[in-house]
Amino acid sequence: MRYYYSAEQIREAEAPLLAALPDGVLMRRAATGLANAVVRELVRRTGGVSGRRVCAVVGSGDNGGDALWAATFLRRRGAGASAVLLNPERAHAKALAAFTGAGGRIVETVPAATDLVIDGVVGISGSGALRPAAAEVFAAVDDAGIPVVAVDIPSGIDVHTGAADGPHVRAALTVTFGGFKPVHALGECGRVELVDIGLTLPEPAMVGMEAADVAARWPMPGPTDDKYTQGVTGILAGSATYPGAAVLCTGAAVAATSGMVRYAGTAAQQVLSQWPEVIATSSPSAAGRVQSWVVGPGLGTDDTGAAALWFALDSGLPVIVDADGLTIVAAHPDLVTGRDAPTVLTPHAGEFARLAGAPPGEDRVAATRRLADRLGVTVLLKGNVTVIAEPDGPVYLNPAGQSWAATAGSGDVLSGVIGALLAAGLPPGEAAAAAAFVHARAADLAARDPGPRPAPTSSSRILAHVRSAIAGL
């Protein structure tokens, strides 16, 4: 599991170490880790360190000190080192003395022949866009195509939300210390490496599942399991206008687990033509026993759609609501408030605005938390970084790393996978987080099929790679 800590939690964890260790030891510990990461990046990009040129862009905080110490260590390993001091009077005195003593040069601008820039402008205490002087420096770095390694966070990006409201650093690599921060999932940080500096950390503010976590939770049939004990997923989706939504959603549930899928709706013929293993009927009441319901994709918002949603929510079973089902819930939120059984809502930004009364805005985590708490349900806010919040519970972040899943019908696939995991007995937050992880993996596989270079894909192709994504765990 990847854990994300707020800036306040990191600062509180640093305080006892700063009090116990001799002055400057913690900074040099961080700077050593930073220098080692820069060495690896230089070797990866240029083949070596000796004779390469690095330039630190230095602000007035501790991150500027980290950058200067790291440049000092690199200078001692044979690299050419320079530094741009954005606020010379407030540069870290000991780090600056060590840097110049090692032969580092103070310059006004980043030299043209620089192989790599270290961003030490602001750290986790900073806020807002780059100031004009720093913005000018990094605009020139961008124009020259020089890669940047950011210290802790890329300067100009908000540590809590990942938002960039104006000029900011575009980092190829971010090296952070002690623990990951929300920005490392929510913002544009390039690759992120964590340096352990010995902090004792509290409960994380947010978590993110990794492959091993998803694999440990994914339902695997045991020797005594049968098709019923593995979970029976019920699908209420599709209409005469949108039969494809039913095909995608049902197919995803079939691909996700080894139990049984029951479909009820007007697209039974189309569903059976694609998935003959599905038990299909035209009426929810005739569908038979299930362990969860998926409601909404392509369902329509007329009386028939509303009746199907009411039927599922009144069943006392776990329910995942998507697409047209969310439109109905937005008009009648009392349908989901107070439910005892798990309920998962999966809006995109527009659907979220209808449910919450306002768009999620820059702080997508806080907005998702508020909606989950207000309705008493699990909310999965779709996006390049999927945010999942449970009422009074944890927040899961799932950075996709790409946007191949942003294609029509993709949400129908995700809904089917979540429904299958709910039927298998996973708690709603874990089901949503694990499904989002596999869905993003399937989208990436679809974009790279048949070759390593990604290309536009479709929901049908994403569905076709769900099993491969699960097997890859």
Annotated binding site for AMP: 382-386, 411
Binding-site residue ranges for (6S)-NADPHX? 62-66, 123-129, 152, 245, 298, 348, 412
> Token pair of 6, please?
């707020």
Are 133 and 168 in contact by the 8 Å Cβ rule? The answer is no
Binding-site residue ranges? 62-66, 119, 123-129, 152, 155, 245, 298, 348, 382-386, 411-412
Are 52 and 46 in contact by the 8 Å Cβ rule? The answer is yes
List Cβ neighbours of 114 (8 Å cut-off, separation of 6 or more).
53, 54, 55, 82, 144, 146
Cα–Cα distances (Å) from 456 to 192, 391, 401, 406, 443, in that order, read 26, 36, 15, 10, 10
Mapped onto helix, strand or coil, the DSSP state of residue 385 is: strand
Q: How far apart are CA 398 and CA 389, in angstroms?
A: 12
Residue bearing tokens 């089902």 = 325
3-state secondary structure 227-260: CCCCCEEEEECCCCCCHHHHHHHHHHHHHHCCCE
List Cβ neighbours of 357 (8 Å cut-off, separation of 6 or more).
none
List Cβ neighbours of 179 (8 Å cut-off, separation of 6 or more).
3, 4, 5, 9, 10, 13, 194, 199, 201, 204
* Exposure of 233 in the CB half-sphere (CA atoms within 13 A): 33
Centre a 10 Å sphere on the Cβ of residue 44 and count the other Cβ atoms it contains.
10
One-letter amino acid for residue 429 of the chain: G
Q: Is the peptide bond before 394 cis (omega within 30 degrees of 0)?
A: no
Q: 191 - beta bridge partners?
A: 173
Q: 390-426 burial string, b = 16+ CB within 10 Å, else e?
A: bbeeebbbbbbeeebbebebbbbbbbbbbbbbbbbeb
Mapped onto helix, strand or coil, the DSSP state of residue 331 is: helix
Q: How far apart are CA 454 and CA 447, in angstroms?
A: 5
**Angle formed at CA 368 by CA 192 and CA 236, multiple of 5 degrees:** 110
Q: How far apart are CA 267 and CA 5, in angstroms?
A: 46
Q: How far apart are CA 419 and CA 435, in angstroms?
A: 9
Binding-site residue ranges for K(+)? 63, 119, 155
List Cβ neighbours of 269 (8 Å cut-off, separation of 6 or more).
none
